[in-house]
Amino acid sequence: MVSIEDASTGMDCVTYGRLAPRCECGWFPCLAFTVNYTPKRATLARGTYWNPTRASSYLCQSAWRRRKFAGKREPNQTSRLERSKIRCSAIDWSDLFHQETVVYEESTPLCVVQVPTSPIPGQKTGTSGIRKRTREVTQTPNFFENWFQSLFDVLVERYGRTCLNRATLVVGGDGREGNQAALRTLLRIAAANSLQRLIVLGPDAIATTPAISAAIRAAGALGGIALTASHNPGGVDGDWGVKYNMENGGPAPDSFTSLIYERTLTISRYLEVEASDPEALCGRDGFDGVNFKRIQTVHRFRILPEGARDALQSPNPDRLPHSDGGRTFEIHLVDATATYVELMEGIFHFERLRALLRLPNFNMVYDAMYGSTGPFAFMIFGEKLGYWEYPWFRRGQYLPDFGGVHPEPNLENLADLVAEFFSDEDSPDFGAASDADGDRYLILGRKFVVQPSDSLAIMLDYALRPDFAAYCRFDGGLIRGVARSMPTSSAVDVVASRHNIRCYETPTGWKYFCNLLDAGLVSLCGEESCGAGGAHIREKDGLWAILFWLSILAYHNLQVAPGSKSTSVEDIVRAHWAHYGRNYYERWDFHGIERTTAERWMRNLERSVEGGEILSLRIDGPQLYAADVFHYQDPVDGSWARNQGVRLFFSSDRRMRAVLRLSGTSSADATLRVYLEKYVAPNDGDVQAVGELASSFVADIGRAALLYCGIVSELGRERPDLRA
């Protein structure tokens, strides 16, 4: 907490709120609060606090806040007084708070108890966290408890319990079914395992994965927990997921998640808290009184050590096991949008974006797919950019089952939106969509769809233009390098090579980009699965990518003379192809393969590739020139990620290739993904190929890959379930 002292009265306070610039060494207006302890069962707090919007007047208000379990009473203002100066002795994570913050001192102590448990199979982290069927998770006793306790055991081993006593964690999620139960379990486990502070992004712990990453970095937190299965379906019959992000805001690396998994295999007990008074109105675990819809509040709990409950129920309850009477655990309910929106305002020139959206011949549509991006998009496009043209905002309410929609932004799941853009009527100029947790995106133009790999290459091209800095302040104006996942097309490689920029190729999973970003080796990263991001956070960021594309459109259309033709999304992409060439690209998904069968087939394929047997095969169609199994060594820490997919090359210049890998984000059966790519140089007539789909250029590569790898003969699959 920030310790401050009132210069006129010497009163010690606790501060929250947005601070003035350069407040480390001077005087500043702030939001201050003091707490009075109250009798048992009455949750009462008294204090003085500042309203940042009236900071210049230095007006302070004093109020009583009383809340019982059954209801609330609005504060009654008792006095106003002028204060001249407040001195700050330390700056902490106050920028997370942008409104008045109220502190509730919870009067019923909570006691740590130990509960026996046993290992639960299958709690292993995949490409990005755990993905399980919701029914399996909610109907398996102690599933949440085992994983969260294993996480805290690893945190204690890594950082020490003393560090955890001073640490902050951030939690948020995409609002899917099972998250509220998981959040309640996390509160009990975190309070019992010596954590000092848990920041719950909200309301209702609803936050995008990029916002969670931003909050971790802004708060200087030890890490964060994202309750999300990303783009997987939600609801009772859908998927549930969780992942841990490190102190840099990025997904935990394999070396960390493997420790969690090993702990889940041997766990025998977990720690949780219970109310010291079994009749307390705060509920059995003490958290019934926390209203997660009410942001900008702090709930402070007194945590007593193991054995304290028995001591309190003894004839002499004042004799506790420890003389200090326990420790403090705080829950901070924070506006999820505030830090993230401010971060976007610092990257993009909102005045120019506002001017673009005001153009009479420009209109846009955004589809949140009932995910967590709804409040963020509404705040950015509506409140900040002033775009209220109806009906630009689609499916903006977040729902636990995402309205029965599969919240992955692709052509199949967005069929209605795509049809609107391809209709013969006057369709919108720009369309975008995000997935459930806001880290993926899709860009649409009038009768045009932007392929994610092309989008990454176009972003790099514009980020390298000096005059584009007036629209997007990209990583301080310095492009250090770029990185893409191995299955992503090499379109960005062409741009990077043309500008002498280093391009890194990593396995699938954003965690592999984080070391490169932290080391300052790259400024832009992207994946074929609709993911892109910069150095501002350590996650892919769908809204950031959408704002980037709007900035590209503003770059072209705000400089157009009146009456001239405006530049469309299609114009931008086709100009890029004409200059750099085109990478025809398509992904084939084979769903519902029995996992054991799929893993055995992949091992056999890897042996065939590494032993060279596959090169001796002859088929009708493109002939295989080279093949390898992709292994990756991190250039920063030297760690290895092995067996990350098989690559087949059908030309000596590697311009025709197929990549095969098993998806790590499926919750049940395995999904085989086959990525097909063919590069056409700018002087080739096929580069524009108006009206031609990519599938017509890569179909022969796909058929050859099926035959070479035994997908037809061994897996019995002749055609994909999805082409993307």
Which neighbouring-strand residues pair with 675? 587, 659
Contact 436, 206 (CB under 8 A): no
Identify which of 290, 106, 104 has the alpha carbon closest to the alpha carbon of residue 204. 290
Active-site residue, selected from the candidate residues 230, 276, 434, 568: 230
405 contacts: CB under 8 Å, gap ≥ 6: 369, 370, 395, 413
Q: How far is CA 570 from CA 411, 451, 577, in A?
A: 17, 11, 11
DSSP structural state of residue 491: H
Q: How far apart are CA 120 and CA 129, in angstroms?
A: 16
From 36, 9, 12, 162, select the one nearest 89 (Cα to Cα).
12
DSSP 222-280: SEEEEE--TTS--STTSEEEEEEE-TTSSBPPHHHHHHHHHHHTT--EEEEEEESSTT-
Distance between CA 655 and CA 657 in Å, rounded?
A: 6
What secondary structure letter does DSSP report for 165?
T
The residue count of the chain comes to 724
Q: Which neighbouring-strand residues pair with 251?
A: 245
Does residue 230 carry a catalytic annotation? yes
Closest CA to 112 of 325, 270, 272: 272
Helix axes 336-347, 209-219, angle to 10 degrees: 90
With tokens 């900008």, the residue in question is: 296
If one counts every other C-beta atom within 10 angstroms of the C-beta of residue 23, the result is 15
Residue the block writes with tokens 């448990």: 117
Characterize 362-372 residue by residue with b for buried, 16 or more Cβ atoms within 10 angstroms of its Cβ, and e for exposed.
Answer: bbbbbbbbbbb
User: Would residue 499 be called left, alpha or beta, if left means φ above 0 and alpha means ψ between -120 and 50 degrees?
Assistant: alpha
Distances in whole angstroms, Cα of residue 130 to Cα of each of 144, 233, 475, 665: 11, 14, 31, 8
Active site residues: 230
